[in-house]
Structure 1
Amino acid sequence: MANSSDEIFDPSVPASPSSIYNQSLNASLEDQTILLLAGLMEAGQEDENTCKELANLTKLLTDDSSDETRSPEPHKPLYQLVDADSVDTILGFLDMRQSASVRGYATLAISAYLKASGDKGVDLLSKFFHSKVRKGTYDDFIVAFSVAASIFPVVPDVTAALFLSEGFVANLGSLMRRKWKSKKVEQSALEMLNVACMNTPCREAIKKYCTEWLEDMVATRAPESPPVDTQESKQIEDGTIQQGTHSASVVNLAAVVLAKLQVIPTTPAPGTEEERIQPATTSMEDLSDMFKNMLSEGESQQSAIEGLAYASIQPKVKEKLASDKQFIKNLIKALAEAPAKSPATYGALSVLVNLTAYLPAVSEEQKRISQLKAYANASKAPEGPDPLNDEDHVTKRCQTVFEAGIIPVLVTHSQHGSIASLTLVVSIVFSLSKTTKIRGKMAQQGAIKLLLHAYSVFPTDNLTAQRTTAHALARILISTNPQHIFGGSNPLPLTSAIRPLLLLLSEDPNSEQRDLLPIFESLLALTNLASTDDTARNPIIRNSFPQIEELLLSNNKMVTRATVELICNLMQSPEGVAKFADGSKQASQRMHILLALTDSEDFATRRAAGGGLASLTEWDTAVNAILERDRGVTLLLAMCKEDEEELRHRGVVCVLNVVSAPGKVGEWGVKKVKEDGGIDTLKECLKKSRNQEVLEITVEALKKLLGDEKDAQKQIE
């Protein structure tokens, strides 16, 4: 609903008692309620006093309707004290000509009353609405339409029934086409239609009976300057305008309603054809151009943003909007200037979500099922997704939005916005984070701080929002140096990023489709964090090692590879080594798996497993665990035979560590390496290798195996 002023109503600000309420504090609850109702019915009160009395009435009714907050003092249910005249008075405060604050507090009051009174309240509301419509004066229409617009979100089913009562919508268009019309009546009617579009039957009725009238309004516009004729000027000031002309605010609101009608197609009942008085002639592209101009000219900004939020759902419109870089800058500027928790903020964020959102990944099986359903429900072949929504087009739109400077604005809004707007903010950042080349700049501009704050704010039962936040964080951390983001003068602790990333190691229980991408990207981000120091490694080990261990056995080679790479970095911590070398049965089993992965078909997995073993074999307990495995030394020597220098490097490091272990473990290591043909393997490795470090390590290992240094040197030569 569009407000008649720019004032933002904030019900979270408590209202202090009015003078009449102060006098009643020592009275009974019933007397307090009666005094408040009497005060509200007094004419000529200041808005401030009206708001206070409405707020106090709301509190009394709300407290009395709950067993937890109801006063133990014996009293009559307070809603029964609110008679028909009182209801009429409160509903009158919803008049669009009232201030935004009065309308806001009146909405809360009538909501509390309807909740407490049940069918009685609904009956009084219906009588009020029908009475106003039957009287048919300009003032009565304005009040009736304003009431319907205000309470639609409060009691949508009840208001929809009033809206769809026989003849009401069908006669609305002709009613608005009188010879002399009221600008305020038109505006109140449009505000009602705008809100009623949220209900499917209401939207279809509007589409059927009001499209022609709406398009007539969009096609006309009142003069920008006031008319010269004083009588005509007086008529406009009084709220009446000549037929064929409409104020800019009315035209803009009509365009918003048309956009809502077009973006959601009407679904006729089975076996029937859709009825319409006249097909829509104003295209969504035309409407979006109109909204763009309204935004650039600073005209009816709220209507412009609301209309764009719907228009930008269509691929052609979103592509056209994104190609206009000046429009994107205007939109971001409007978002930057919009108050927190305002409709303008939510609308602008919705537009940006539409522009940047990627299509969800769909498996081949899901595609086949969708095709079968489409064939079953339609006579023609199903259409594929619009090419303007493919990855290339969305990536370009994301790049445009990012270059227009969106991240700093989102950071600001994330600190003060509602949970609903914060969800949209995170969705935009998530989409932008898919583009690898801008991740570093996103981090510099505060995206990581934004995401960590969002994760801490989202309720734990909002798992979808938490996972989206964590996934965006993972993507950015993959491509950035953690030491540039955390620590130093930056107040963000590195450990604050670990908890969100660990959430992604489990599959999403709310998703119908198995998606391993969040797991994979979380593993990569954790690997990056684990490259720093034990401050990051130890919390990862303590809080998620069972999950990491399970992912080692994944059927997906990319997930397995990323898990092994993470373990390779975790081996730099003594706590990580202990998981493989503390002598337990579990540690022995883990060592068996890591050794087996050195024989993986995937080169990167073999390399990571070799790196982990190179770190592990620096500990004699780990060497002992390898020697206890039947094929442990065989698998280490196999790495020394690889064609890739990187793998041979890891192999000879492992062998040198085994034969260099102290005491009996080292002696056992020398014996087993010799028995597995280690001397010949290392000599062959010398012939293959060109890297000086690999050559030196191999020579050192051969010396350990051959014992006598002169004899060893001779054999090596």
Structure 2
Amino acid sequence: MLDEAEASKVSQAIKDEAMLLFAHLMEAGKQDEEKSADLSSLTKLLNEDGERTKQGQESIIPIIDDYCVDTIFGYLDMRQSQNIRLNAILCTAAYLGAAKEEGHRRVNGFFHAKMKGGTYDDYIVAFCAAAAIFSIDYDLMSDLIHTEGFLPSLAPLMSRKWKSRKIETACLEMLHAACMQMKCHPAIQKYCIGWLEEVIFEDPETRVANMRNLVETDIDIDKEGPEPLKEHCRKVRSLAGVIWTKIMAASVQQVAPPNQGPEPKVESAVAKMERLCKRFAGMLAAEDSEDVQYAVEGLAYATTLPKIREQLARDGESLKRIVTVIGSAPPKSPLAYGALSIITHITRYKPTESEEQKRLKQLKAYANAAGKVQPSPLSDDSYVSERCKLVFDAGVTPVLVKHCKTASIASLSLIISIIFSLSVTPSLRGQLAQQGAVRVLIAAWTALPEKEDATRRTAAQALARILISTNPALIFRQLPQTAAIRPLTSIIPPDPNADTRDLLPTFESLLALTNLASTDDDSDTTRRAIVRTAWDDVEEQLFSTNARVSTAAAELVCNLVQSPEEAIGLFGDGSSKAATRVKVMLALADADDVKTRSAAGGALASLTAFGEVVRAVLEQPRGAGIVLGLCRDGDDEGLRHRGAVVVHNMVSQEGEVGQLAREKLLTASGVDALTECAQKSRTPEVVEAVVHALKVLVGEK
């Protein structure tokens, strides 16, 4: 910390430096490089202002008066070079951060002075500054937009007898920035929609012709030529179209009177949006990157409406162009994010709702006297599924796989969402795997931070769906199967952040792990990894009240215990935990659900090859009876086969365990059960196992 004298001296030196920089910035005739350097130096001083004040030095904010603020904001003018504007934005952000309330007061004073001045230059600088400040402090500029009389004054300005191309562009860029959030939408819709539509739907040829009749204008058609003016009109029309789409995409879904259908204004807006989106779709192939950016941004907002999603999905050529834009867009760019948003909207399914949620939704709709516009059938799963197929056929998967390598977290989330939607269709899963989706999902789950839990769960569930329907041996040739285990395991427990319990991810994860465990190598690497990573969660699902989940968990256990090491470690080490697990499998083998009995019977068929497991079965009062119950099943040959193998294993045990098994089975009418099983069975393997067991029991008897 400096003493008071030193601090005062340093403060004065910094103030002098700041004033010198402002003096340089106010000078005319300086080169762009010099202006950029001065703005950069001023930004540095402003960014360091807070730290200096903590050390006892004076702030430089008090010396920055209205003239200084006007100087900084003047460099936000669209007529300045791109480099100068960028440095001016950074300087503006630094000033607002350091000046706080004083800065807000200066900003308001600046805009009121400019709008009151009313010259070409005043309007252009004001609108350009507003567009820049919206991205820095949205609330500050939103308050200004809502100032009484501000927005209504724009309509006369844009449609008065004299026109300015630059004022028109600057004003639209300001409104474009204002539409970043919903806060300004109602006011813009109220005061600006009319003249925006005039700009959007007026033919450029006609507009240029009418310019010749303007009394006051900065447009000289003879000097500039009609073609540049037509190009300006087209670009302005596109920018206005993006603004209009942002505003209207939400408003067309407003409340309508019950049983009266949508309001005429809504119908008109949708029709206009369809017309505008056809224009945007045509611009996707433009050579001008700005046109493509406008087209993508407009379509990204328009495709929040089901009718537009369906229209665009059916336009195969435009769909391919969007895919091409994703492939060629710079990494982490707004263009890439916008194009991915379009595909996300086209492929997105409605959120899954429980029966209770559906009933509550219906009750709320009935209770709402005003009612709502009925949900479009174009959002139903059947339509979304068809759109997903069209998007897949447009070649989106390889492009997503390539793009994800350099994508931002926001773009990666959209990529995962798209693959998740495509994976809903079983016929696409094998092709998704072939085109690299599995590797992408595993890499994304691993790379995403834990705070992105929802996105990670989406990636894991998409991975599960693909692995359910494909042969792991064909997928994991260059990638180990074990790489998929942690993502799959992560969604076995229900989502702790969800309002309702969705068991579908749990179910699909169990099925995928079962598939992996069915194709393990000779060393049982995958099975051992699953047990080490997921056993506690899998065991918990054996007790699930949902029969399908419980069955899926039992099927996974059946495959896991094909590994002798895991079978002994979990069920055959003689511990109380192992005995409890055997008891659970016996209970599942006696369940009402055929698939559950089959899965548990399959597990017991493998486990009873070990004496300790047989001992645990016999220690249960109904153990022998449950096993024989599998043999007696009159309808399912598979169940009888499992029961026959279990009995065969039990009676074949040597020593005390084998003797006990034979006695227990005889006491439980094992001969009658096996005889009945042999009479019903037609499969040689079943008959052979039964005959062997019968010989042993009859001999024992």
Q: Same fold judged by TM-score > 0.5?
A: yes
Counterpart amino acid of residue 450 in structure 1: V
Whole-Å Cα distance in 2 between the matches of residues 531 and 55 of structure 1?
A: 63
Aligned partner of 1:595 in structure 2 is 586
Aligned to 2:250: 264
How far apart are the structure 2 equivalents of 1:699 and 1:281? 75
1:422 pairs with one of 389, 412, 418: 412
Residues 1:570 and 2:560 aligned together: yes
Shift of 1:177: 1.2
Q: Could you say which residue in structure 2 is the equivalent of 1:326?
A: 317
> Residue 366 of structure 1 corresponds to which residue in structure 2?
357
Larger proportion of helix: 2
Letter matched to residue 169 of structure 1: L
**Structure 2: distance between partners of 1:223 and 1:292:** 21
Letter in 2 for 1:292: A
Identify which range, 90-99 or 592-601, moves more after superposition: 90-99
Cα deviation 1:19-66 (Å, max 9, x = unaligned): xxxxxx9x9766766666566555555556655655555455445546
* Paired amino acid for 1:308: L
Alignment of 1:202-281 (within 5 A): 202-223=184-205, 231-235=220-224, 247-265=233-251
Equivalent position SS for 1:507? coil
1:507 counterpart residue number: 494
Residues 588, 625 of structure 1: 8 Å contact kept:
yes
Does 1:470 find its partner at 2:452?
no
Q: 2:545 aligns with which of 519, 544, 555?
A: 555
Greater Cα shift, 424-433 or 179-188? 179-188
Match of 2:299 in 1: 308
Could you tell me which runs of 5 or more consecutive residues in structure 1 were left unpaired when the two chains were aligned.
1-24, 713-717
Instruction: Give, as a single letter, the amino acid of the residue that structure 2 aligns with 1:612.
Output: A
Residues 1:535 and 2:525 are matched in the alignment: yes
What is the alpha-carbon root mean square deviation over aligned residues?
3.2
What's the counterpart of residue 282 of structure 2? 293
Query: For the Cα contact (< 8 Å) 2:134–2:177, is it kept in 1?
Result: yes
- The amino acid across from 1:443 in the alignment is A
1:704–1:269 CA distance, 2 compared to 1 (3 A): closer
Q: Distance in 1 between matches of 2:97 and 2:399?
A: 39
| Cα drift, residue 202 of structure 1 | 2.3
The 3 A distance-change label for structure 1 pair 564 and 105 is farther
103-112 vs 476-485, greater mean Cα deviation: 103-112
Quote the Cα distance in structure 2 between the aligned partners of 1:564 and 1:144.
69
Amino acid at match of 1:95: D
Counterpart of 2:584, as a letter, is I
State the partner residue of 1:674.
666
Pick the aligned partner of 1:340 from 319, 331, 339: 331
Q: Structure 1's 689 and 315: CA in aligned 2 closer, same or farther, altered over 3 A?
A: same
**What SS does the aligned partner of 1:661 have?**
coil
Tell whether 2:515 aligns with 1:524: no
Map of 2:401 onto structure 1:
411
Q: Per-residue deviation at 1:100? A: 4.0
**Structure 2: distance between partners of 1:268 and 1:288:** 20
8 Å CA contact retained: 1:37, 1:82 = no
Deviates more, 1:121-130 or 1:167-176: 121-130
Aligned to 2:273: 284
Q: Which amino acid aligns with 2:153?
A: N
Correspondence for 2:164: 182
For 1:645 and 1:267, locate their aligned partners in 2 and report how far apart those are by CA, in whole Å. Answer: 56
| Percent identity for Structure 1 against Structure 2 | 47
Encode CA deviations 1:351-393: one digit per residue, 9 max, x unaligned: 111100001122232223223333333245x554211111110
CA distance 1:395–1:597, shift in 2 (3 Å): same
Matched, 1:171 2:161: no
What is the rounded CA distance, in whole Å, between the counterparts of 2:226 and 2:58 in structure 1? 47
* Rounded Cα–Cα distance in structure 1 between residues aligned with 2:19 and 2:529: 61
**Contact conserved, 1:217 with 1:246, CA < 8 A, in 2?**
no
CA distance in 2 between counterparts of 1:261 and 1:582 reads 68
Q: Deviations over 1:540-565 (max 9, x none)?
A: 22222222122111111111111111
Map of 1:14-163 to 2, 5 A cutoff? Answer: 40-41=25-26, 43=28, 54=39, 57-58=42-43, 60-62=45-47, 64-65=49-50, 74-77=56-59, 79-80=61-62, 82-163=64-145
Give the partner amino acid of 1:198: M
Q: Distance in 1 between matches of 2:49 and 2:653?
A: 78
Structure 1 residue 234, shift from structure 2 partner: 2.7
Find the residue that maps to 2:159 and give its secondary structure.
Answer: coil
How many angstroms does 1:73 deviate by? 5.6
Match of 2:5 in 1: none
Task: Name 2:425's counterpart in structure 1.
Answer: 435
What is the Cα deviation at residue 90 of structure 1? 2.7
- C-alpha displacement at 1:201, in angstroms? 4.8
* Residues 599 and 260 of structure 1: CA distance in aligned 2, closer, same or farther (over 3 Å): same
Residue 688 of structure 2 corresponds to 696
1:319/1:692 CA distance change after superposition, 3 Å: same
Distance 2:222 2:607 in 1: 88
Q: Which residue of 1 aligns with 2:614?
A: 623
Aligned pair in 2 of structure 1 residues 55, 701: CA closer, same or farther (>3 Å)? farther
Structure 1: distance between partners of 2:149 and 2:339: 36
Distance in structure 2 (CA, Å) of the matches to 1:678 and 1:379: 70
State the 1:662 CA deviation. 3.0
Output the CA distance in 1 between the equivalents of 2:473 and 2:16: 66
How far did residue 612 of structure 1 move? 0.8
For residues 647-689 of structure 1, give each alpha carbon's deviation from its aligned partner in whole angstroms, at most 9, with x where no partner exists: 1111111111111223221222122122222222222222211
How far, CA to CA, are the matches of 1:655 and 1:251 in structure 2?
81
Distance between the aligned counterparts of 1:224 and 1:341, measured in 2?
Answer: 39
More off after superposition, 98-107 vs 283-292? 98-107
Cα contact 2:343–2:418 (8 A) shared by 1? yes
Question: Match of 1:4?
Answer: none
Question: C-alpha separation between the residues in 2 aligned to 1:28 and 1:611?
Answer: 85
Letter in 2 for 1:518: P
Letter paired with 1:305:
V
TM-score by length of 2: 0.88
Cα deviation, 1:119-162, whole Å, max 9, x if unaligned, reads 01111111222222222222221221111112213211110111
| 8 Å CA contact retained: 2:95, 2:103 | yes
Query: Aligned equivalents of 1:459 and 1:423: distance in 2?
Result: 12
Partners of 2:303 and 2:48 lie apart in 1 by 43
Aligned CA distance change for structure 1 residues 226 and 146 (closer, same or farther; 3 Å): same
What TM-score results when the alignment is normalised by the length of structure 1? 0.86
Q: CA separation in 2, counterparts of 1:268 and 1:561?
A: 45
Q: Can you list the C-alpha shifts for 1:73-116, whole angstroms capped at 9, x where unaligned?
A: 65333555654444333322322233444433432332232122
Larger displacement relative to structure 2 (411-420 or 604-613)? 411-420
- Classify 1:690/1:280 alpha carbon distance in 2 versus 1 (closer, same or farther; 3 Å): closer
Within the candidate set 483, 490, 498, 2:485 is matched to 498
Q: Partners in 2 of 1:469 and 1:635 — Cα distance?
A: 41
Counterpart AA for 1:251: R
